[in-house]
């Protein structure tokens, strides 16, 4: 079979290039015997998985050529970086993206040298790698990424190699079931290739050691048609033909179980110990080659076993026997793997049409996320093939249900009476796995589409590490000119800490913001819109943005409408500002600043300002609301940072600032510790005092309530402590009464529930 010869030649070439990357500084074509100075001083990289990755890639290329198939390739074992780089180079893509790495001997030398080398490229598949949307340094997300890429891409096949190590992770184990969310008419196909090479770092893998019948049951149980392939070109080619036929026959989708030795074609033994086919081939089979001549000889023998002379001409160019295996539709050059290239802006309806009417500030309440739901409904309707809303079955709970006027939940299994808005065409993807929501959305965004992930605030921590990896991907991508900007990853965190009073302590955690702010300022944005109109404005802004991670924290419970839509737009554009109607400083230097961020803290702050207006009418109080948290940082730390002069103008340089914050209070200190007036800043926030109780009791438990804020003002404004001791006691008593009422009656006290605002009069 002539074709198999080309595939084998291509595979050998890729293997040769992979070994070269791990070992060689120079002498790439082995035109002379290896000498120590040809060898890298630090040998870094992962050989074990690499030949298998090369094998799959080579065979898939035949299918692409024969069937004119659009395909991308996800290397779950992303530590097999040399493989992905080798293919991009063999296919010519690497030299297109990086012209100094030409497809010849000089380029090959640079290709080898740069790998896992300071100033060069990472040892893992990375943003730097053409053709990849998947880093794979942290294992577990390949298959979710693959499904995210396949959705709304009807002509695409996403080949996804899953290492048997990765297959042990939770996120991967859950990802198999993603097939239930794939619409065969409108989505592409994912081809999982479970690569069993038997070992992880030092241990055998679970799936490689269970009986094959059990493994086949498992794959059938996941809803696939499994095909087992051994380490043979013939078997792989035949199976791929079968599998690509099966993809369109209406039966369960196929998947492949590929068994190969780990470190296949590498050294069989080193220093008397078996290496090929064992965990010892995981990283660098031959260590410290520079100082061991016998290992250098073994390395040369190993590289020559691929018969490089057959594969590359004297100038280092791949010969025809290799190039014939390269299809026109190169996976390394697929625009799907550089999503920004094919990104089309969302068609965005006017968010202002969803404004809640605000005749007077603080005179009416709305549910912010419900208003946003209306906007999202129109976004979905206007973008029927490029926007998805993800969530762990909380879309209605988070009060975004208006979206179901325009679409359904994605569901491809049976329907039963009583089911609510399910259909294969649904654009809301709900599964009880934050990992899948995140992984799908990442895959969807990285292939050039748009979306939003809505989640309970506490449980977004489940994907902390996925967020970290995506933020790092975006950060690294910014330095790669050919990676075009993609749509931002947008989080809407609702059902937040202050309104999970009923679900209790386990549901109360605002710490995701602290994780987010650790990542590069160029990538992360945090918004805390305090009412419906500001949420709409922020939502619109985030959907337009590129290459960011936007975190929006917003409530679903009714909160006071503070801003007309025009005011909201201005306020959000500034990112923070004085709420004039709640302030009593009348444009003068205030006695105290009440700052706030987050809907519930803002309400309590406004109530505290009302109490101060009533009880201390002479006190000049300034209320400042912060929507864009990054404005608090100095401009040297974040591009959104307020200048020191602006900061001081708002917060004063020397007056007490009582900052009522949605999250853990130290985040505000962290953002502001370089500011002039930092010593006068007193932050209230969640201090991990949680339980099952009422909303106002939650506020009191953490001292963010109106009464405590007034007490804070009395304690901090010079002169008030003695003069207003009575008022302070009055506030403390009000807290005790409120608490006693709650414990007696199980609901907030009437003076809280029926609180009247002084602002609209």
Find the binder of a copy of itself among 116, 369, 447, 490 (CB under 8 A).
116
Which residues share a beta bridge with 625? 577, 596
Of residues 349, 350, 332, 329, the one with CA closest to residue 86: 332
| Footprint (CB under 8 A) of a copy of itself, residues 76-115 | 79
**Segment near a copy of itself (CB under 8 A), from 10-18, 350-358, 409-417, 481-489?**
409-417
| Residue 251 touches a copy of itself, criterion: CB under 8 A | no
Interacting residues with a copy of itself between 13 and 72 (CB under 8 A): 25, 40-42, 44
Does 435 contact a copy of itself by CB under 8 A?
Answer: yes
Single residue of 692, 715, 730, 732 touching a copy of itself by CB under 8 A: 692
**In sequence order, what are the residues at sequence separation of 6 or more whose Cβ sits closer than 8 angstroms to the Cβ of residue 21?**
45, 82, 85, 86, 111, 112, 115, 116
The nearest distance, CB 86 to a copy of itself, in angstroms, is: 17
Q: Contact region for a copy of itself (CB under 8 A) — 270-278, 292-300, 584-592, 725-733?
A: 270-278
- Least separation in angstroms between CB 745 and a copy of itself: 6
Residue 183 or 564 with smaller CB distance to a copy of itself: 183
**CB atoms closer than 10 angstroms to residue 31:** 11
**Contact between 747 and a copy of itself (CB under 8 A)?**
yes
Whether residue 584 contacts residue 617, with contact meaning beta carbons closer than 8 Å, is answered with: yes
284, HSE (Cβ side, Cα atoms, 13 Å): 20
Number of residues that bind a copy of itself (CB under 8 A): 123
Using the contact rule CB under 8 A, the part of the chain among 15-23, 94-102, 387-395, 480-488 near a copy of itself is 387-395
**177 binds a copy of itself per the rule CB under 8 A:** yes
Q: List Cβ neighbours of 280 (8 Å cut-off, separation of 6 or more).
A: 263, 270, 273, 274
Which is nearer to a copy of itself, 435 or 622 (by Cβ)?
Answer: 435
Q: Which residues pair with 423 in a beta bridge?
A: 410
Cα separations in angstroms, 640 against 575, 625, 663: 9, 16, 20
Rounded least distance, CB 730 to a copy of itself, Å: 23
Considering only 187, 378, 394, 628, the residue that binds a copy of itself (CB under 8 A) is 394
Closest CA to 388 of 247, 186, 248: 186
Residues in the chain: 761
Encoded one letter per residue, x for contact with a copy of itself by CB under 8 A and - for no contact, window 659-688 reads -----x-x--xx--x----x---------x
CB 760 within 8 A of CB 361: yes
Which of these ranges, 363-371, 480-488, 528-536, 689-697, lies near a copy of itself under the rule CB under 8 A?
A: 689-697
By CB under 8 A, tell whether 203 contacts a copy of itself: yes
| CA–CA gap between residue 557 and residue 495 (Å, rounded) | 8
DSSP 8-state class, residue 225: E
SS3 annotation, 511-533: CHHHHHHCCCCCCEEEECCCCHH
Residue 345 vs 673, nearer CB to a copy of itself: 673
Q: Which residues 576-605 are close enough to bind a copy of itself by CB under 8 A?
A: none
Query: Judged by CB under 8 A, does residue 216 bind a copy of itself?
Result: yes
Quote the CA–CA distance of 647 and 632 in Å, as a whole number.
Answer: 8
344 counts as binding a copy of itself under rule CB under 8 A: no
Contact 398, 426 (CB under 8 A): no
Q: Which of 464, 644, 646, 648: binder of a copy of itself (CB under 8 A)?
A: 464
Min separation Cβ 666 and a copy of itself, Å:
4
Residue 381 binding a copy of itself, by CB under 8 A: no
Q: Is 505 in the site for a copy of itself (CB under 8 A)?
A: yes
What x-and-dash track marks residues 536-565 binding a copy of itself by CB under 8 A?
------------------------------
Nearer of residues 643 and 691 to a copy of itself, judged by Cβ: 691
Site string for a copy of itself, 119-148 (x = CB under 8 A): xxxxxx-x--------x-xxxx--------
Task: For residues 503 and 501, give the distance between their C-alpha atoms in angstroms, rounded to a whole number.
Answer: 6
Is 169 one of the binding residues for a copy of itself (CB under 8 A)? yes
The single residue among 131, 277, 530, 555 that binds a copy of itself, judged by CB under 8 A, is 277
Q: Which one, 2 or 420, has the nearer CB to a copy of itself?
A: 420
* Pairing outcome for strands 269-270 and 273-274: antiparallel
Question: Which residue, 726 or 743, has its beta carbon nearer to a copy of itself?
Answer: 743
The smaller minimum CB distance to a copy of itself, of residues 490 and 742, is found at: 742
| CB closer to a copy of itself, 563 vs 664 | 664
By CB under 8 A, the residues from 621 to 650 that bind a copy of itself are none
Site membership for a copy of itself, residue 736 (CB under 8 A): no
CB burial readout 746-760, b (16+ within 10 A) else e: eebbeebeeeebebe
Which of residues 6, 87, 370, 472 is near a copy of itself by CB under 8 A? 472
Give CA–CA dist 47/284, Å, rounded.
6
Alpha helices in 193-284 (DSSP H): 206-209, 212-221, 233-246
Closer to a copy of itself by Cβ: residue 232 or 518: 518
* Cβ-based nearer residue to a copy of itself, 224 or 527: 224
Residue with tokens 């520079």: 290
DSSP state of 367: -
Give CA–CA dist 705/696, Å, rounded: 7
Is 288 near a copy of itself (CB under 8 A)? no
Q: How far is the CB of 138 from a copy of itself (least distance, A)?
A: 6
User: In sequence order, what are the beta bridge partners of 622?
Assistant: 593
- Please pick, from the candidates 11, 16, 89, 222, the single residue that binds a copy of itself as defined by CB under 8 A: 222
Rounded Cα–Cα distance for residues 416 and 233 (Å): 46
Long-range CB pairs of 471-474 (<8 Å, 24+ gap) are 471/516, 471/519, 471/520, 471/523, 471/524, 471/549, 472/135, 472/519, 473/127, 473/135, 473/446, 474/523, 474/547, 474/548, 474/549
What is the pairing mode between strands 409-410 and 422-423?
Answer: parallel
Under rule CB under 8 A, residue 339 binds a copy of itself: no
* Residue 507 binds to a copy of itself (criterion: CB under 8 A): yes
Is residue 691 involved in binding a copy of itself (CB under 8 A)? yes
Identify which range of 309-317, 363-371, 394-402, 561-569 contacts a copy of itself by CB under 8 A.
Answer: 394-402
Does residue 148 sit in helix, strand or coil? helix
Measured CA distances, 389 to 69, 168, 215, 654 (Å): 29, 28, 34, 45
């Amino acid at each position: 079979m002539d074709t198999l010869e080309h595939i084998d030649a291509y595979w050998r070439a890729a293997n040769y290039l992979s070994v070269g990357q791990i070992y060689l500084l120079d002498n790439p074509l082995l035109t002379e015997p290896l000498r120590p100075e040809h060898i890298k001083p630090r040998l870094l990289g992962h050989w074990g998985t690499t030949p298998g990755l090369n094998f799959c890639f080579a065979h898939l290329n035949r299918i692409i050529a024969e069937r004119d198939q659009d395909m991308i390739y996800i290397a779950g074992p992303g530590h097999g970086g040399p493989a992905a780089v080798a293919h991009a180079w063999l296919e010519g893509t690497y030299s297109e993206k990086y012209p100094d790495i030409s497809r010849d001997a000089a380029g090959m030398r640079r290709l080898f040298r740069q790998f896992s080398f300071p100033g060069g490229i990472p040892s893992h598949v990375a943003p730097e790698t053409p053709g990849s949307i998947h880093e794979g340094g942290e294992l577990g997300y390949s298959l979710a990424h693959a499904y995210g890429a396949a959705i709304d891409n009807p002509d695409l096949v996403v080949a996804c190699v899953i290492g048997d190590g990765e297959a042990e992770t939770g996120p991967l184990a859950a990802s198999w079931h993603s097939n239930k969310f794939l619409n065969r008419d409108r989505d592409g196909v994912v081809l999982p290739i479970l690569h069993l090479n038997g070992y992880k770092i030092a241990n055998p893998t679970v799936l490689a050691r269970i009986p094959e019948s059990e493994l086949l049951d498992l794959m059938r149980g996941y809803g696939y048609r499994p095909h087992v392939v051994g380490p043979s070109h013939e078997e792989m080619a035949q199976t791929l033909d079968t599998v690509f036929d099966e993809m369109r026959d209406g039966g369960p989708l196929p998947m492949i179980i590929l068994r190969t030795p780990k470190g296949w074609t590498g050294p069989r033994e080193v220093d008397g110990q078996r290496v090929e086919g064992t965990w010892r081939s995981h990283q660098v089979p031959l260590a410290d080659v520079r100082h061991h001549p016998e290992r250098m000889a073994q390395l040369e023998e190993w590289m020559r076993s691929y018969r490089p002379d057959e594969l590359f001409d004297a100038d280092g160019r791949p010969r025809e026997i290799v190039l014939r295996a390269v299809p026109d539709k190169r996976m390394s050059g697929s625009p799907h793997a550089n999503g920004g290239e094919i990104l089309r802006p969302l068609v965005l309806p006017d968010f202002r049409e969803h404004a809640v009417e605000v005749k007077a500030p603080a005179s009416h309440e709305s549910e912010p996320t419900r208003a946003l739901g209306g906007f999202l409904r129109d976004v979905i309707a206007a973008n029927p093939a490029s926007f998805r809303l993800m969530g762990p079955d909380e879309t209605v709970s988070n009060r975004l249900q208006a979206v179901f006027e325009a679409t359904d939940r994605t569901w491809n299994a049976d329907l039963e009476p009583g089911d609510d808005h399910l259909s294969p065409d649904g654009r809301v993807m709900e599964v009880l796995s934050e990992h899948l929501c995140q992984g799908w959305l990442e895959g969807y965004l990285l292939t050039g589409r748009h979306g939003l992930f809505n989640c309970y605030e506490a449980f977004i921590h489940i994907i902390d590490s996925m967020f970290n990896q995506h933020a790092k991907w975006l950060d690294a991508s910014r330095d790669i000119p050919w990676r075009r900007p993609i749509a931002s990853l947008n989080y809407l965190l609702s059902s937040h800490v202050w309104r999970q009073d009923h679900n209790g302590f386990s549901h109360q955690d605002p710490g995701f913001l602290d994780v987010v702010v650790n990542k590069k300022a160029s990538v992360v944005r945090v918004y805390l819109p305090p009412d419906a109109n500001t949420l709409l404005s922020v939502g619109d802004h985030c959907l337009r943005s590129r290459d960011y991670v936007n975190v929006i924290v917003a409530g679903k419970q009714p909160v006071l409408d503070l801003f007309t839509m025009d005011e909201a737009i201005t306020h959000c554009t500034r990112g923070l500002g004085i709420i004039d109607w709640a302030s009593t400083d009348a444009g003068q230097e205030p006695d105290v600043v009440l700052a706030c961020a987050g809907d519930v803290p803002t309400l309590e702050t406004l109530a505290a300002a009302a109490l101060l207006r009533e009880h201390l009418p002479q006190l000049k109080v300034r209320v400042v609301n912060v929507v864009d948290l990054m404005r608090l940082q100095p401009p040297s730390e974040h591009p959104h940072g307020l200048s020191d002069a602006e900061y001081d103008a708002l917060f004063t340089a020397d007056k007490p600032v009582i900052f009522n914050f949605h999250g853990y209070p130290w985040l505000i200190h962290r953002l502001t510790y370089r500011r002039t007036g930092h010593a006068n800043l007193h932050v209230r926030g969640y201090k991990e005092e949680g339980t099952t109780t009422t909303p106002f009791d939650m506020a009191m438990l953490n001292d963010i309530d109106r009464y405590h804020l007034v007490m804070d003002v009395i304690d901090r404004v010079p002169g008030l402590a003695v003069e207003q001791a009575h008022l302070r006691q009055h506030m403390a008593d009000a807290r005790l009464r409120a608490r006693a009422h709650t414990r007696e009656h199980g609901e907030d006290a009437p003076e809280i529930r029926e609180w009247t605002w002084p602002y609209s009069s």
